[in-house]
Amino acid sequence: MKSVPKNNNLGTLQYILLSVAILFSPFFFILLIGQISVTKYSENIKPTEEFCLEGYFPFPKGYKIKSSFPIEINIKEKTAIFTDWDIFARKICITPLQLLPESKRYSLRLSFLDFLNLGIFYKNISIATTSYPKVNETMFEEEINNNQILEYAMTYPSGLLDYYIQQGELETQCIVESSSLKCDLSGLTLKQGQEYELTLLSKYEDKLVEKLNTTTIRTRTAVIVEQSSIPNNSVLQNPSVGQIDLTLNKEVESGYQVQLIDSAGNNITYESSVIGNLLSIYPKEIFKQNTTYLLKINGLRGLDGSQLESEYILQFSIDDGPKITGTNIGSGFSTSGNIVFTFNQSILSTQNAKTYIKLNSATNYSYSIKGNQITINPDSDLGFCQKYTVSLNKGLTSNTGLIGSTGASYTLKTTCKRTVYIGTSVQGRSIYAYYFGSGANKIVFFGAIHGSEANTRTLMNRWATELENNSDRIPADKTIIVIPAVNPDGIANRSRFNANGVDLNRNFDTPSWVTGTYLQTDFYPTGGGSAPFSEPESQDIRDFMYRESPYLTLTYHAAAGYVIPTNSSYAIEKGHTYSQLSGYSYVNPDAAGAFTYDITGTFEEWAEGHGYNALVIELSSSSYDQFTQNKTAMWKMVEQ
């Protein structure tokens, strides 16, 4: 058999190929791994969040990623030997280091053993950004508390964006937790019981990215003390306060702080309870009189989460014991009257008031206590136009145990006006005269001899009050007599005449007396009466004049604005003085033409005929009493 010789060239080639294969096998392995190692990644990524490439990555530290935006690379699910040698990983994760725009496509380049600079070790990865996080749901009601934490459900969390709640010019930062935002409203200083518009913002590096949500909310009404059993700033007259009730506008929790102190800061022991919307404080001490107290409430929280807007403070004080708030003591006190003191609190009726109340140091009296009044009844009438001292010493006790710590003193002046009945009108009305002073020289002021001139009665009453209030001005040698209304029937009937239809100032027995009289152009056939002094009122004045014999009389009428004296030097002098001080025109006695009608049978004509000095004063108003205009002149008539 013929043998075939061996082909040495073929063996050599096989050897070379095997050697090359052995030499380059790691590179073919690396090439293979570099091309197929990325098995999964999302082409749509969130603009602010980490995304990962999944696959088989030997020696993961040999991989590099090239990007058009700054990134951070994190190797996950690693296998290592000798602790620090990573030989394999399943994920290469990429985190953008800046906020990426929404809906934009990017190309990334993943390379392995980038230092070899071989194109076979690169892989291009295309990704696109989605939209920024959005609000899925507002997880709160329209009515909230002003310090509440609002929660928003988000489409996904973001590590690059900051979130804020904005109201007006104020805003407060929110906290990202999982896929929700929690926003504390405390920093917005919202008021309770108000409506607000809240806007949720996203920001990047303090620049607005997006307004995510705008919501109108209403904060719950605050816890309010609607009523207190002790009104604020009240003064209590009972130091034993067993309970203070505060009625609230809503039910509250039991956790709250109470402080009850006096004005010096001393704490008062107490207990408290809350049932529903009623908070009750039970003081365990008797309060002190003449002391102020403060009740302070903090931390009241409603069952709905609302709270007190600010610290509630109730201020009250305990009174200082009985004090006089009123008395009937005044100018012109009746000589037979009882003295009444009114106090600011009820008086203990079982105490002896004479221990504390003195009347003129010596005058004896009986008394009665009823409620907050003490009535003093002198054992005998007081003297006319005299001063008495009534003093209250400290120590008087109220029926709640408060003790008066101050005294008081009053000057009581009895009336200087002595009222004297001088006659009766046709219809039975009394005619009175008021007497002031006790001197021998008497001056008389008459008012309303004509009933239609009622303002002269008002003038006389005001003059009587003036004399009462200023009785010290009356000279010791004078007696002043004021007759407010000579014609009370005329006043009652609003008539110039008396009830018989007679003009009383035409009924005096004078040479000029006639039965028929005039007023302006009107004629009254019986205006002068059936005879001189036919009327009881004129008779009363006549008898009064005979009895008192005054040195001067002043009769007031309305409304010519005149002063007319009788024809005596004294009366004329007084007339000029009165005219100058009052501003009324002076008219000479018996002057013709002062009036446009006949004047007959007058009081002044009769007075002059019997030696009396008299003035007629005609006011310049038919309605106003003109007391201020006349006061100086009237005093001058008295004091000269």
Q: Nearest CA to 181 among 189, 191, 173?
A: 173
Give the Cα separation of 551 and 475 in Å (integer).
14
Mean pLDDT computed over 571-576:
97
Count of C-beta atoms within a 10 Å radius of residue 82: 6
582 has pLDDT over 60 = yes
Tell me, what's the pLDDT at 87?
86
Contact by Cβ (8 Å): 160, 99: yes
Range scoring the smallest mean pLDDT among 176-180, 523-527, 549-553: 176-180
Q: Nearest CA to 545 among 555, 558, 530?
A: 555
CA distances to 68, 226, 514, 556 from 277, in Å: 65, 10, 90, 72
60, exposed or middle or buried, with CB in 10 Å at 0-12, 13-18, 19+? buried
Name residues whose C-beta falls within 8 Å of residue 115's C-beta, 6 or more positions apart in sequence.
none
3-state helix, strand, coil in the chain (%, to 5): 20, 40, 40
Beta-bridge partner residues of 240: none
Beta-bridge partner residues of 124: 109
Residue 119: pLDDT band with limits 50, 70, 90: low
What are the tens digits of pLDDT across the range 65-100? 999 999 999 999 888 887 778 888 899 999 999 999
Region for residue 221 given its phi and psi (left: phi exceeds 0; alpha: psi -120 to 50; beta: otherwise)? beta
Mean pLDDT computed over 158-169:
92
397 has pLDDT over 80 = yes
24 has pLDDT over 60 = no
CATH architecture of 324-413: Sandwich (2.60)
Beta-bridge partner residues of 151: 182
What are the tens digits of pLDDT across the range 258-312? 999 999 999 999 999 999 999 999 999 999 999 999 999 999 999 999 999 999 9
62 has pLDDT over 90 = no
Which percentage of the chain shows pLDDT scores above 90? Answer: 77
**3-class SS letters over 353-420:** HHHCEEECCCCCEEEEEECCEEEEEECCCCCCCCEEEEEECCCCEECCCCECCCCEEEEEEECCCEEE
26 has pLDDT over 60 = no
Name residues whose C-beta falls within 8 Å of residue 598's C-beta, 6 or more positions apart in sequence.
517, 518
What would the two tokens of residue 629 be? 């205009």
Region for residue 371 given its phi and psi (left: phi exceeds 0; alpha: psi -120 to 50; beta: otherwise)? left
Tell me, what's the pLDDT at 84?
75
CATH code, 135-219: 2.60.40.10
Name residues whose C-beta falls within 8 Å of residue 482's C-beta, 6 or more positions apart in sequence.
433, 434, 436, 444, 445, 447, 460, 463, 464, 467
Q: At what angle do helices 627-639 and 454-469 cross, to 10 degrees?
A: 60
Range scoring the smallest mean pLDDT among 28-42, 110-124, 334-348: 28-42
Highest mean pLDDT among 104-118, 399-413, 543-557: 543-557
Domain definitions of the chain by residue range: 30-129, 135-219, 228-318, 324-413, 418-639
Give the Cα separation of 601 and 514 in Å (integer).
7
Residue 246: pLDDT band with limits 50, 70, 90: very high
Which percentage of the chain shows pLDDT scores above 70? Answer: 93
Contact by Cβ (8 Å): 243, 229: yes
Contact by Cβ (8 Å): 473, 635: yes
Highest mean pLDDT among 9-23, 35-49, 119-133, 250-264: 250-264
Mean pLDDT computed over 538-550:
98
Residue 28: pLDDT band with limits 50, 70, 90: very low
What are the tens digits of pLDDT across the range 374-396? 999 999 999 889 989 999 999 99
Residue 520: pLDDT band with limits 50, 70, 90: confident
Give the Cα separation of 502 and 130 in Å (integer).
117
Q: At what angle do helices 627-639 and 569-582 cross, to 10 degrees?
A: 140
**Higher pLDDT, residue 596 or 396:** 396
Give the Cα separation of 92 and 199 in Å (integer).
38
Q: Nearest CA to 467 among 515, 433, 514?
A: 433
Pairing of strands 122-129, 44-45: parallel
Mean pLDDT computed over 100-104:
92
21 has pLDDT over 50 = no
Give the Cα separation of 287 and 244 in Å (integer).
13
Give the Cα separation of 395 and 356 in Å (integer).
7
383, exposed or middle or buried, with CB in 10 Å at 0-12, 13-18, 19+? exposed
CATH architecture of 228-318: Sandwich (2.60)
Tell me, what's the pLDDT at 118?
60
102, exposed or middle or buried, with CB in 10 Å at 0-12, 13-18, 19+? middle
Residue 197: pLDDT band with limits 50, 70, 90: very high
pTM of the model: 0.60
Tell me, what's the pLDDT at 5?
43
Which SS3 state, helix, strand or coil, does residue 465 take? helix
Tell me, what's the pLDDT at 12?
54
CATH architecture of 30-129: Sandwich (2.60)
Contact by Cβ (8 Å): 88, 75: no
Tell me, what's the pLDDT at 179?
86
What phi and psi, each to the nearest 5 degrees, are found at residue 2?
-95, 125
58 has pLDDT over 90 = no
Query: Would 135-219 and 418-639 be classified into the same CATH topology?
Result: no
Give the Cα separation of 164 and 150 in Å (integer).
11
**Which residue has tokens 């009370």?**
488
Q: What's the mean pLDDT when you consider all of the chain?
A: 90
CATH architecture of 418-639: 3-Layer(aba) Sandwich (3.40)
515 has pLDDT over 80 = yes
Give the Cα separation of 545 and 343 in Å (integer).
48
151 has pLDDT over 70 = yes
Tell me, what's the pLDDT at 178?
85
